[in-house]
Amino acid sequence: MTGTIVVAGGSMGGLRAAEQLRAAGWTGSVTVVGDEPHMPYNRPPLSKDVLAGKAPFASLAFTPKASAADVEWLLGTKVVAARLDERTVALDDGRALSYDGLVVATGMRPRRLRCPGPLAGRHTVRTLDDAKGLRDELTGPGVRLVVVGAGFIGCEVAATAVRLGVTEVTVVDPLPLPMAGPLGELLGRALLKRHEERGVRFALGTGVAGFRGDERVTGVVLSDGRVLPADVVVESVGSVANVEWLDGNGLDLADGVLTDDRLRVGGRPDVVAVGDVARFPNARYDGVPRRVEHWSIPTDTARHAAKTLVAGLTGADAGPGPFAPLPTFWSDQHDFRLQSFGAPGLGTDDVRVLDGDPEGDVLVGYHTGGRLVGVVALGGPATATAAARYRAQLLKSPALTP
C-alpha cells in the first residue's frame, strides 16, 4: 500500500486518526499537521486539575501507540488552504503537501464576545497556554472572577476557582439555569443549588453588554444595567469550528464540516472528518447531522473514519456501515460528577428521575415519544455503576427513525 495520508489537526482527533489508519491496515505514509507547538495532550483537565494546579502539564500528553511510531508530525505548522480536486494542502510555511487521503481534524476554537472594552484580563480555556495563563491570574490575592457562560466549561472553571480560594466567583448567562441547554430544567436547578451552596454566585437571565476598564478589565456590564466588578474574566460562550482552510471547495461549512453517514466529506472517497469539527448524522438517532463536542467523539470517529478512508483509497473492502456511536460525556465540578450516556438533548420533552433524588445522587432519564434516549447521572462515583445499566439499555434501542 503506497501513498500519503495527510491529517490536518494535531490534537486528540489527529492522533487517534493516525493510529486508527494503521489499525485499518494503511501502510503508506501518514503526516499529521498541527498548529500547536505541542504533541497531542488531553484537554478536559485544563479546566479542572490543571487549573487547580493538581496536574503537571507533562501529565497531559497522550502516549502514541507503537503502531504509529513512523507517523510524521509537523507541529507548529498551520494548514492554510486545501484544493480537494488537486489533492493538495498549503501550509503556512509556504510548502504544499500532496496527498492521496485527507483527514480533517482541526477541531474548535473558543467564540469571543464582541462587546466594547479592554481585552487584558479576559481569558478563554481551550489550550495548555490558556489554562496556564488563567491560573497565573487567579492565584493572586483577593481576585474577583466573572465567568461568562454557564455551560460545562464555564461551570467547571467556576468550581475550580472556588477550590483555588478565589474571593468572588460569579457566573453570568442569559439562560435562567446553568447547563440547562443540554440537561434541561430538572438538573439545571439541582446544579444551580449545588454550585451556590459551594460559593459560586450567579447572574442568570442576563447577557453581557460590555466591559469596564482602560488598560485592563475592571468590571463586566450586564445587559440589565448592573456592573459586576472583575479582575479576571473567563469567556466560555461556545466555540467556532476551524474550517476556513477548507473554503473554496464547495463544501457545507455552516457548522463544522458536513459528512455523510460514513464520515466522508463532500461525497469524496478520499476525505474524511473526525472529532469536534465533524458534523455527522448518527444512525442511532434521526439522521440529522450534528457536531458533538464530547471527549469520546475523536476516538469513535477516528475508528470509523479510518476504515472508511482506507477502504475508499484501496477499494480492497466495502468499508464500515453507517456510523452510530453512543455519545458519552462527563463533567467534574466541585465534589460531584455528571456522567451522560446517549443524547439527552433529544429527549427534553419528557425528563424524569429514574433513580435517587435531585437533592442527592440522582439518575435522570430523557425520553422522546415514550422512548429513553439519554441518561445523566449526578453524584459521587457510585452513580456511574447505576448509570451503566441504563447505558446497556440505550445501546440496545433501535434507531428513532429506522
Partner 1 sequence: MKVVVDMNKCQDHGQCVFAAPDVFSLDDDGRLAYVPDADEALRDEVEEAADVCPLQAIRIEG
Ligand X SMILES: Cc1cc2nc3c(=O)[nH]c(=O)nc-3n(C[C@H](O)[C@H](O)[C@H](O)COP(=O)(O)OP(=O)(O)OC[C@H]3O[C@@H](n4cnc5c(N)ncnc54)[C@H](O)[C@@H]3O)c2cc1C
Which residues contribute to the site for ligand X (CB under 6 A)? 8-13, 33-36, 43-44, 46-47, 78-79, 105-108, 125-126, 153, 242, 245, 275-277, 293-295, 297-298, 329-331
Min separation Cβ 381 and partner 1, Å: 3
Q: Where are the alpha helices (DSSP H) in 315-375?
A: none
- Cα separation, 254 vs 240, whole angstroms: 10
Estimate to the nearest angstrom the gap between the alpha carbon of 362 and the chain centroid. Answer: 25
Among 383, 390, 394, 400, binds partner 1 (CB under 8 A): 383
Among 16, 194, 264, 291, binds partner 1 (CB under 8 A): 16
Min separation Cβ 261 and partner 1, Å: 22
Residue with smaller CB distance to partner 1, 171 or 387: 387
- Is 388 among the residues that bind partner 1 (CB under 8 A)? yes
Contact 374, 395 (CB under 8 A): no
Pick the piece of the chain touching partner 1 (CB under 8 A) from 114-122, 173-181, 203-211, 292-300. Answer: 292-300
Among 206, 218, 296, 397, binds partner 1 (CB under 8 A): 296
Local structure of residue 198 (DSSP, 8 states): T
x-or-dash pattern for partner 1, window 29-48, by CB under 8 A? -------------x-x----
CA-CA-CA-CA torsion sign (139, 140, 143, 145): negative
Cell 464500515 belongs to: 320
Residue with smaller CB distance to partner 1, 2 or 63: 63
Among 206, 328, 368, 397, binds partner 1 (CB under 8 A): 328
Q: Which of 230, 271, 235, 234 is nearest to 253 (CA)?
A: 271
Picked from ligand X, partner 1, none, the partner binding residue 323 (CB below 5 to 8 A depending on kind) is none
Contact 161, 169 (CB under 8 A): yes
x-or-dash pattern for partner 1, window 249-288, by CB under 8 A? ----------------------------------------
Among 56, 58, 63, 398, binds partner 1 (CB under 8 A): 63
Cell 503537501 belongs to: 97
Picked from partner 1, ligand X, none, the partner binding residue 383 (CB below 5 to 8 A depending on kind) is partner 1
Contacts of 16 (CB under 8 A, 6+ apart): 274, 298, 299, 302, 303
Contact 89, 74 (CB under 8 A): no
Picked from partner 1, ligand X, none, the partner binding residue 218 (CB below 5 to 8 A depending on kind) is none
SS3 4: strand
Min separation Cβ 247 and ligand X, Å: 11
| Burial zone of 314 (CB within 10 Å; 0-12 exposed, 13-18 middle, 19+ buried) | middle
- Is 314 among the residues that bind partner 1 (CB under 8 A)? no
Q: How many residues bind partner 1, per CB under 8 A?
A: 22
Q: Are strands 362-368 and 350-356 parallel, antiparallel or unpaired?
A: antiparallel
Min separation Cβ 34 and ligand X, Å: 5
- 346-358 burial, b at 16+ Cβ within 10 Å, e below that, comes to bbbeebeebbbeb
Min separation Cβ 337 and partner 1, Å: 8
Pick the piece of the chain touching partner 1 (CB under 8 A) from 190-198, 222-230, 284-292, 378-386. Answer: 378-386
- 309: amino acid identity, one letter: L
SS3 82: strand
- Cα separation, 156 vs 162, whole angstroms: 10
Min separation Cβ 40 and partner 1, Å: 11
Contact 323, 297 (CB under 8 A): no
Judged by the rule CB under 8 A, the positions of this chain that interact with partner 1 are 16, 42, 44, 59, 62-63, 65, 295-296, 299, 328, 330, 332, 339, 380-385, 388, 391
